[in-house]
Amino acid sequence: MVAPQLFRSARLLSSRLSTPIRPSFQQSACVPSVLSSRKYATESGVKEVTVRDALNQALAEELEANQKTFILGEEVAQYNGAYKVTKGLLDRFGPKRVIDTPITEAGFCGIAVGAALAGLHPICEFMTFNFAMQAIDHIINSAAKTHYMSGGIQPCNITFRGPNGFAAGVAAQHSQDYSAWYGSIPGLKVVAPWSAEDAKGLLKAAIRDPNPVVVLENELLYGQAFPMSEAAQKDDFVLPIGKAKIERAGKDLTIVTLSRCVGQSLNAAAELKQKYGVDAEVINLRSVKPLDVETIIKSLKKTGRIMCVESGFPMFGVSSEILALSMEYGFDYLTAPAVRVTGAEVPTPYALGLEQMSFPQEDTIVKQAAKLLRL
Amino acid sequence: MPPKLLGRGAVQIRWRKVATSPRRWGSSISQRPGSDSVRFPGAVNSKFTTQMSFVKPADIPAIPTYRVMDSDGVLVDTDRGPPDVTDAEVLTWYKNMLTVSIMDVIMFEAQRQGRLSFYMVSAGEEGVTVGSAAALSPDDVVFAQYREAGVFQQRGFTLQEFMSQLFSNKNDNGRGRNMPVHYGRKYPKMHTISSTLATQIPQAAGAAYALKLKALQNPNHPASVVACYFGEGAASEGDFHAALNMAATRSCPVIFVCRNNGYAISTPTLEQYRGDGIASRGIGYGIDTIRVDGNDIFAVYEAMQAARKLALEGGPGGGRPILIEAMSYRVSHHSTSDDSFAYRARVEVEDWKRRDNPIIRLRKWLERQGIWDEDRERETREDLRRTILKEFGAAEREKKPALREAFTDVYEEMTDETREQMQELKRILQTYPEEYDLRQYEGGADSL
Ligand SMILES: Cc1ncc(C[n+]2csc(CCOP(=O)(O)OP(=O)(O)O)c2C)c(N)n1
Ligand SMILES: [Mg+2]
């Protein structure tokens, strides 16, 4: 396993570890400072909404609009959800449509898939996607494949949702990022919201989509407030699955990222501007599958340089995929080797210092970008 | 695997001895004419009946709950005599229960102050954990869920070990890789706790099977069992059912100890299952089962002791699984991330705390025996509190694990790639020493 090429990329991956050790329990800033200067601020009717409330709104609106929908999972009803995303839904929609289940992921996921195959539109919440591993067969072998294998007879309009990826102080079995796992399965659609608008628009799209859709939320974003436009506050707001969003336009470097890393990348971009005067373009993927290759390649052609930032493990990940696509579709436009900043190649440790070194931090992104741009 | 790969080097096991159940080919089953019972292969002793009636669980009386002393600490059945344990032993149990209980209060508070990210207390379940562990031998193996600090305490886990794990310092057996309360120890062997519910249950059956094979291969190997702990909530996972069936069919010497404490986070047992607790499931899998009063440490101890004997019956190659359902009440919040008054009444909790609690019950017993009193109680509590706080302070001040520990043990031997990454990190840390405060990490950058 000592191919010279692997060494090179391994070096790149590892310098992500160059994070200063931070004091305990710091709330790492994932709302970019640039937000305050964004266009939202001047728009009328813009409201600050947390990702949690945005998801809650999306659920409430879709439960209201479509009698076929129902939500089930551990602690979703009485307790309002482990992270309070389903707050108030039991009171509003009753125990037939907001269902607490025993601790049997394989059971309630299987039931949800069965209900979807029978024509209902279940929303299946996992306490975290780490526990969806208990039910993975239903998601991959049944939900993703049955429509195809039944010759198109059996529908499977189901939404799987829950927190995914890095959290704080919960160690390896609660911190894994599964974007690449689900992103590799034909038959599934996969979205990963960052902002409140993303959260609402993508979750609603997922529920309405006739296919199985995996909505990868992030625990550290739930409490984060984002400006939400007037249009997004309405109950007809949906975002298209498969379209990325350019969160920050730039000409010198394309940063492709998703979920919580979007905020980190925007902060890094602001620092790059301030320190070096370079303009990074930050693309929020929003959708992992289908992937908006067009937006990525268009940006790459403009900037000539591409970097991926994600919290998954380095190998066979979302970044690996995007780097491969950049090579396939943008090779002639690249003026520097593409780079990825990812989670470390170790099961996430608990100890605070070690944990922080295991995930991309803003200064890692800045440093890697500076290196890529030879600044 | 192609047979020749097994090779001459492979350990010789006399497989035929392993099979204690009838050999499959010897159990040819056929229906005898005129017989009054069924001889189908799947149900060999079922009587024929002309009454069409469904078995109604509600008509079957609930499995009784074994107890030795009542909630006032009084022996219920005076004919049987007191439990067969020395005063010294019982006093050790009591102190172990107190230790865990006081540590819980201190650590819960410490979490609230932000000194560790997470904690789980076991208030109300000290009788189940300490009492069952007391019946184990040091060679027995434990798989726990997370609310079994009493098992660790009773089996010699030191306060320093608890605190080092909780503060993930350099002395932590888990090297700072696990969430607090995910303890583990090499000997007496207690497998490191896993966050994913119920995975320990089939693994325990597998480990018990390994012990059985070990005993077959080496007659000098001490006869030992696996004790596997889990909550009634975790028993809803498929893993629980798979484990019981596998353990029964492979005759694994494993004792399944279900801590039925009434709740799984906010989910009460009524929403978790509809049968007669977890005990009724053991019977369905053909496993000898008992339900005990978990607040009665003597009942737990005696049941565990008997279970251990049964599990090892038949000598090497024999053995079988046992299920114990220990009833108690989760007095505490589920964890520091939970506020249980959102889903249960405060009075309900207060009632259990005061009226029927394993520690208070044993204290009453001890006082009746004349080996405990108010003064000793106060002194012991103060003493324990002081010792715990001392270890707490020491562990909190202790250095964090070496940076190297982020990389070691991903594989048995570090791969070239990992080594390369580690060297790169070292180079960066040494190039920019002002940027990184490495003082709290054992060995600083040199550990890399
Ligand atoms: C596979 C899996 N699903 C869900 C969880 C989240 N979870 C952690 S503890 C818990 C409740 C377990 O209850 P129980 O088994 O009764 O044990 P108790 O907490 O009562 O001791 C849940 C749902 C998990 N850790 N793993
Ligand atoms: Mg429980």
pTM for this predicted structure:
0.85
Please give the angle made by the CA atoms of B345, B348 and B122, to the nearest 5 degrees.
105
For a mutational test of ligand 1's pocket, the pick from A83, A105, A127, A174, i.e. the residue with the most ligand atoms closer than 8 A to its C-beta, is A127
Give B273's Cβ-side CA count (13 Å radius).
21
Nearest neighbour of B178 by CB, restricted to A14, A344, A350: A350
Q: Which of the 8 DSSP states describes residue B46?
A: P
Q: List, chain by chain if needed, residues with CB within 6 Å of any ligand 1 atom.
A: A 74, 103, 105, 127, 131, 134; B 147, 195-197, 230-234, 259, 261, 263-265, 330, 334
Measure the CA–CA gap between B309 and B311, rounded to whole angstroms. Answer: 5
| Residue % of chain A over a pLDDT of 70 | 89
Cross-strand bridge partners of residue B326 = B259, B292
- Answer whether A174 sits within 8 Å of B195, measured CB to CB: yes
Residue nearest to atom 20 of ligand 1 (CA): B264
Task: Check the CA dihedral B69-B73-B79-B82 and report its sign.
Answer: positive
Is B440 in contact with A104 (Cβ distance < 8 A)? Answer: no
Among A150-154, A220-224, B3-7, which is the least confidently predicted range? B3-7
Where do the H-state alpha helices sit in B63-154?
Answer: 87-112, 126-134, 149-154
Question: Which residues, numbered 187 to 206 in chain A, qualify as contacts with chain B under a Cβ-Cβ cut-off of 8 Å?
Answer: none
CATH number of A48-233: 3.40.50.970
Backbone angles phi and psi of B4, in degrees to 5 = -65, -20
- The answer to whether residue A25 scores a pLDDT higher than 50 is no
Q: Are A364 and A14 in contact (CB under 8 A)?
A: no
Q: What mean pLDDT is predicted for residues A349-355?
A: 88
Averaged in consecutive runs of 10 residues, what is the pLDDT profile of chain B (448 residues)?
Answer: 42 44 58 79 86 95 97 95 96 98 97 94 97 98 98 98 96 93 96 94 94 90 95 97 95 97 96 97 97 98 98 91 98 94 92 90 97 98 98 97 92 90 92 91 93
Query: In the numeric block, which tokens belong to residue A240?
Result: 């298209």
Domain ranges across chain A? 48-233, 245-373
**Among A333, A359, A342, which residue's Cα sits nearest to residue A254?**
A333
Residues A98 and A77 sit within 8 Å (Cβ to Cβ): yes
d(CA B435, CA B447): 18
* Mean pLDDT of the region A9-23: 35
Inter-chain residue contact B177 with A169, CB threshold 8 Å: no
> Given CB atoms, is A316 within the 8 Å cutoff of chain B?
no
Please report the pLDDT score of residue A10 as a whole number.
32
- Asked if B266 is an interface residue toward chain A (Cβ–Cβ < 8 A), one would say yes
Pocket test for ligand 1, best of B118, B197, B260, B349 (most atoms within 8 A of CB): B197
Q: Report how far residue B190's alpha carbon sits from residue B172's, in angstroms, rounded to the nearest whole number.
A: 14
**Across A298-306, average pLDDT:** 98
DSSP-derived secondary structure letter, A154: S
- The tens digit of pLDDT for each residue in A166-175 reads 998 899 999 9
Give the Cβ contact number of residue B308 at 10 Å: 21
Shortest-distance atom of ligand 1 to CA B230: 15
The architecture (CATH level 2) of B65-397 comes to 3-Layer(aba) Sandwich (3.40)
pLDDT at A45: 92
Give the helix ranges, DSSP H, for chain A.
4-14, 51-65, 89-93, 105-117, 136-137, 146-149, 179-183, 196-208, 230-233, 260-276, 293-303, 318-330, 352-357, 362-372
Tell me the CA distances in angstroms from B378 to A248, B19, B95, B120, one per residue in order.
Answer: 65, 55, 12, 25
Q: Is B441 helix (H, G, I), strand (E, B) or coil?
A: strand
State the CB neighbour count (10 A cutoff) for residue B160: 15
Same CATH topology for A48-233 and A245-373?
yes
Residues 6+ apart with CB under 8 A from B321: B205, B208, B244, B247, B248, B251, B252, B253, B254, B255, B256, B287, B311
In the three-class reduction of DSSP (H, G, I as helix; E, B as strand; rest coil), residue B231 is classed as: strand
User: What number of CA atoms fall less than 13 Å from residue A332's CA on the CB side?
Assistant: 1
Q: Which fold has domain A245-373?
A: Rossmann fold (3.40.50)
pLDDT for position B27: 55
Residues of A known to be catalytic: 105, 174
A104 residue type, one letter: T
Q: CA-CA-CA-CA torsion for B191, B194, B196, B197, nearest 10 degrees?
A: 50
Angle at Cα A18 formed by Cα A17 and Cα A21, nearest 5°?
100
* Partner-chain residue, chosen from B196, B266, B418, that has the shortest CB–CB distance to A79: B266
Residue B264's DSSP bridge partners are B267
Q: Which amino acid is at A21?
A: I
Closest Cα of chain B to A364: distance in Å? 12
With CA atoms as reference, report the closest residue to A346 among B404, B184, B193, B169.
B404
Element (H, E) at A256: strand A253-257
What pLDDT, on the 0 to 100 scale, is given for residue B109?
A: 96
The reported pLDDT for the residue numbered A24 is 34
8 A C-beta contact, residue A1 and residue B417: yes
Q: CA torsion B285→B291→B295→B300, rounded to 10°? A: -80
Intervals of CATH 3.40.50.970 along chain B = 65-397
Q: Are B163 and B395 in contact (CB under 8 A)?
A: yes
- Of the candidates B117, B437, B440, the beta carbon closest to that of A168 is on B117
Closest by CA to B157, choosing from B125, B181, B124, is B181
- What pLDDT sits at residue B23? 54
Q: Is B273 on the interface with A (CB under 8 A)?
A: yes
Amino acid at A348: T
Model pLDDT for residues A32-86, shown as the tens digit of each residue? 444 444 444 455 799 999 999 999 999 999 999 999 999 999 999 999 999 999 9
Q: Taking CB atoms and an 8 Å limit, are B272 and A102 in contact across chains?
A: yes
